[in-house]
A and B are shown apart, each in its own frame.
Chain A
């Protein structure tokens, strides 16, 4: 069964702006799915419609078989949302935020208390349960929102830029947490501007741009399409001119830093053989850009050029 099915979804705002131009999208149960796109592409509008915060103009949304228009409450019960912005009552305690949310989902106080304890412990927030939420750090507030979205044990969890603005340590711990939640059976849809995050976590991906889905495939299939990878090499000694190797595009970023575009058909061995033969010692090697980032830019750029 699909966790989410979207069919011909359109949204035209009152000012005439068409944010979604009839998108179709399926997300399988158990998937960890990336929904990517540049700012203003229509991601937030799509998530808003799925989570009943935005009224659609036309089209349909089905969550675990429940049509959002016909069986809204059943569809809502399957869904948990972690929004971009902090939207809980900042004057309430962490525990009350979760207890209230559980109450909205019809959970008895006893069950709500047990789920609250479970989710706060899972997010490492149990010792903060009686803290007024506005006193929490930014990373903790993000985790409160994830715990709140998980309190009714949703089958589909939408994370809208959950790691925006948090430091790398917290981000990594949140990745682990998200992977745990997914492994326990929860389908996750993730939107993020950190493409490294999407590449590391997600199995399938859709890229949305200017209100249309411009790419929808598995992460591995998409990355396999990358024909050229860009690397940056740190050299032991300075060069005055870049090496001339046929089939490779080599540039000097600085005398001791070299940028190389490596075609997939050629690989790295030939490049290193050539450098060794010419006594050019390489100290370190890294990807110039994240692989998904490269593809993302290509896809979005191609679409922009066509328009």
Chain B
């Protein structure tokens, strides 16, 4: 049973999600994880699905081909099965301040040098305010206060405020 990724990006309009997911359902596929959002009028979707066989992958590509003629960039490709094992310490990074080039690069540089893995990230630009929010998984023995200090210092050089707080799961 092949796993596939489907990406769809383009000018937003009603019905895109229904169309893509209906084609997968018609092929007896199973939609698993998905992420969809609207970025300044542009629709962006990534989804992972299981299809019954390799022939279905080709059929899905054909079924979605006409979306390309409507201005959407559509890609269907096989991906390995899920072998991820979430472990480590989760943290939430928040950055905000006056917009200027290099904010994301500086923040992600600190994360990358600290062994962190960004699992979710979004940025928003208002009229002048730039806001970044990210979920990050760090290795279990990471000194998060030290990383937070590093992050704050680095982002302060750009005149923006940064925080990094632990987001440990509480089992209830």
A and B physically associate: no
Please give the residue numbers on chain B whose beta carbons come within 8 Å of chain A beta carbons, in ascending order: none
On A, residues with C-beta under 8 Å from B are none
